[in-house]
């Protein structure tokens, strides 16, 4: 909500006008706070997912380098074996 609207429809100012409107304003305030918590949790989960992806990429690169080293070693060994 816009700042002016929030001030105009806050639970305290509505309490004098209508208990039902005051209750609804409190519920809306509670829902807004919950939505902020959910948004923060989602941001945290997104950051964690990015970190997991980075770690997986690092692991994949290391595995590929190891496979390349093994392939080079094996090809040299095979070439030496057939030269004799």
Query: How confident is the prediction along the chain (84 residues), in pLDDT tens digits per residue?
Result: 455 555 555 656 655 568 888 888 899 999 999 999 999 999 999 999 999 999 999 999 999 999 999 999 999 999 888 886
Query: What is the predicted pLDDT for the residue at 22?
Result: 83
What pLDDT does residue 21 have? 85
d(CA 1, CA 32): 10
Q: Write down the pLDDT at residue 81.
A: 82
User: What DSSP designation does 9 have?
Assistant: T
- What distance in Å separates the CA atoms of residue 4 and residue 18, rounded to the nearest whole number? 19
What phi and psi values does residue 2 have, to the nearest 5 degrees?
-70, 150
Q: Are 22 and 14 in contact (CB under 8 A)?
A: yes
């Amino acid at each position: 909500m816009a700042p002016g609207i929030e001030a105009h429809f806050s639970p305290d100012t509505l309490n004098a006008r209508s208990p039902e409107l005051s209750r609804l304003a409190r519920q809306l305030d509670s829902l807004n706070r919950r939505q902020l918590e959910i948004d923060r949790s989602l941001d945290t989960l997104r950051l964690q997912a990015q970190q997991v992806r980075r770690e997986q990429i690092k692991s994949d690169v290391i595995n590929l380098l190891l496979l390349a080293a093994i392939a080079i070693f094996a090809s040299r060994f095979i070439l030496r074996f057939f030269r004799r």
